[in-house]
Amino acid sequence: MEIQNIRLPPLSLVTFEKTFSNIPHHFQLDDVLAVLVVAAVLSTLWYLGLFWEKPDPHLYKLFERPQAHMTDAGATKGTRDIGEKLGQIGADVVIFWGSQSGTAERNRLSKEIRQRFGKKALAADASDYESASIGNIPTSNLAVFIVSTFGEGDPSDNLQDLWSWLETAKGTPFSSLKYVALGLGNSNYKYFNAVVDVVASKLNTLGAQCLLPIGKADDAQGQTEEHYLDFKAALFQLFKDKMGFEEHDPVYEPAITLVEDNSLEPIDVYNGEPWSPNKDRKTARIMSPVHSLPIKATRELFDDSKDRNFIHMEVDLSEYPGLKYKTGDHLGIWPENPKPEVERLLRSLGKLSAASSPVSLRSLDEETKLKVPTPTTLEALFGNYLEICAAVPRETIASLVQFAPTSAAKDVLTAISNDKAAYEKLSDSMYLNLGRLLEYTAPGEGAWKDIPLSLVVEALPAMQPRYYSISSSSVVHARQIAITAVVSDKKMQGEAIIPGLCTNHLLGLQRSFLGEPGSMQTTINAHVRKSTFKMPASMAQPIIMVAAGTGVAPFRAFLQERERLSKMGREIGRTILFFGCRNEKQDFLYANELREWASIPEMSLSVITAFSRPDDGEKVYVQDRVKECADEVCDLITDKEASFYICDSAAMARDVSKVVGEQVQQRLGLDEMRLREFMDKQKRIRRWQQDVWG
């Protein structure tokens, strides 16, 4: 709404007399005053309306912590100088953790340093301190940098300030700094652990001394935990050899307490309903609240598939008017742990009879934030809020040794926690979650009854959502979301199988919805996460899509939307879908829909398949098909301003990107530098987008 600038005449005694000279005599003074009051209120509201859309520059004051302005006697003044901070608290080690999350992990490392060596370690967020003050860290102290790499070699949000400062810093301001560094990354991505390489190089250039080889954890094969343990072992050896720290056996110190409280009413207890920790502003902008969404429809995409289940599921948003999504967004699903695994863990802990009793949790120190809701029950805690089906890392196994109920159990736990080969052998032969490990080392109900519940809760990670690309268009189905999933079970040596937690949860819900015996639950705890994986604003702009398996999900949504708009008379640009799967009979997802859309002339769609396990002929992958169609693909990218999309594994995306880059380079005659500039520009202007994982 446009607001015009209106000038009001000044109010004076003369205008007052003229205004009220014609008021009938039967009006009393009270009537006049009442009219004036109403007029004043309306005028005020009108005036405020002029500025209703303007933000209040002092609004942030309402959200400031009042204690930040209080000065208690003896309180330590906050500082942004990390060297000064270490002196104030008497810390010998500072751990800079550059990750989108990782709070629990960095506190875990600082806590273990205290337990094993009796030394204070500060777990620090680099953004809380002036980057230049790192040079003030005493030479007798050690800095530990543990940093993640994201996207195109980007640092985490909380490392951005240090990252920018390192780019421009000169001289040798870090000549007294001694440090070690570990990178967290995934070798399936092009810029594997690029951040730790850049940070270490810059620190060295500024005069710092690195005391250990740079560690690089690789999550491509789920080895991050093992690589972290290797790094930690080298770090602890450094403490003993170079810093004179004396190591002793750690004694468990609880960070939280659990208290049974039967005075609580059921309505006061979290019993499995949606819950997630408080979000920061950035997270809140891109994620909706978690809701319990009713399943509206579901079906198997391949009824005759022998070894895999392909699930198409649709959930209804009608009960939540404020919950919306856009084509290309993700649905985050919060799974539930299987009841047999919950009962197995409770049985070993001797808590089956107390499973439904209310318990309250409380943090015992400032650094530990509760990762689960409280009050709750053990049944809900292990069923909904903690990842009890996750593989048990060696570090957790080591923490169980001191509570082993028998000498035999202690020997087994000690062996597999200290010997990586022994741990891997056991992991390959059985489904090694916490409940099964306890049962394996000391069978029998209540065998582990003396282990502190606080240790169990601290050791288990919080339940995390699993994200699925939405396979429906918000233009076509505004109040309904579709997802596509394949049930993923990992087969181990022998008969062992590790079931995919969320996909098997969806499979169970599907069977319940379709009327098979079992649970009657027909809702999913889920939330919408905004995505930048979007079609161009103009439907006339060409698009090229590359997918394998369930990676076709967002492209089904794209094509569903383009079909609807074509029927409304909108011009649809050239559209190509490269789709890879095993073969046409096993997992050619949405084949009938794709063929129907390809038959509509107005959609200008070509569906080009690549079968890796064909009934006859040689295996072909999507990058091979892209190369075969390189002439049209390159023409669309370089001359027709086409948008290029990839959705599937990071490894596939890397192979496809390589093929396209080579073909563009060849046709445009670019050297490596100019090719990278071209590709970077495509990504910057959103004409090259990837939605990939693993």
- Please provide residue 128's backbone torsions phi and psi, each rounded to the nearest 5 degrees: -85, -5
What pLDDT, on the 0 to 100 scale, is given for residue 517?
A: 53
Q: Which domain holds residue 681?
A: 543-693
User: Which residues of the chain have a pLDDT value below 50?
Assistant: 1-29, 32, 45-76, 102-104, 519
Give the count of beta carbons closer than 10 Å to the beta carbon of residue 54.
7
Distance CA 617, CA 629 (A): 19
Q: Which of 393, 425, 459 is the last residue of a domain?
A: 459
262 shares a domain with 226? no
List 147's β-bridge partners, or say none: 98, 183
**Is residue 480 a part of any domain in this protein?**
no
Q: Counting beta carbons within 10 angstroms of the beta carbon of residue 503, is it exposed (0 to 12), middle (13 to 18) or buried (19 or more)? A: buried
Structure tokens at 249: 């056996």
What pLDDT, on the 0 to 100 scale, is given for residue 516?
A: 62
What pLDDT, on the 0 to 100 scale, is given for residue 493?
A: 67
263 shares a domain with 229? no
Amino acid at 281: R
**What are the residues whose beta carbons fall under 8 Å from the beta carbon of 659, sequence distance 6 or more?**
623, 626, 627, 630
Distance CA 135, CA 137 (A): 6
**pLDDT tens profile 393-402:** 999 999 999 9
194 shares a domain with 101? yes
220 shares a domain with 90? yes
Give the count of beta carbons closer than 10 Å to the beta carbon of residue 505.
23
Q: Which of 459, 489, 517 is the last residue of a domain?
A: 459
262 shares a domain with 188? no
Q: How far apart, in Å, are the Cα atoms of 122 and each of 89, 110, 143, 144? A: 9, 7, 10, 10
234 shares a domain with 276? no
What pLDDT, on the 0 to 100 scale, is given for residue 585?
A: 82
What pLDDT, on the 0 to 100 scale, is given for residue 308?
A: 82
177 shares a domain with 260? no
**Is residue 13 a part of any domain in this protein?**
no
Assign residue 609 the CATH number of its domain.
3.40.50.80
List 225's β-bridge partners, or say none: none
Q: What is the pTM of this model?
A: 0.81
Distance CA 562, CA 501 (A): 34
Whether residue 348 contacts residue 395, with contact meaning beta carbons closer than 8 Å, is answered with: no
**pLDDT tens profile 449-497:** 999 999 999 999 999 999 999 999 999 999 999 999 999 887 766 667 7
261 shares a domain with 167? no
Kindly state the helix (H) or strand (E) to which residue 187 belongs, with its residue range.
none
Percent of the chain with pLDDT over 90: 67
167 shares a domain with 140? yes
Structure tokens at 157: 């949000």
Distance CA 580, CA 552 (A): 9
Amino acid at 684: R
What pLDDT, on the 0 to 100 scale, is given for residue 438?
A: 97
- What is the number of domains present in the chain? 3
263 shares a domain with 238? no
348 shares a domain with 269? yes
Q: Which of 410, 443, 459 is the last residue of a domain?
A: 459
581 shares a domain with 681? yes
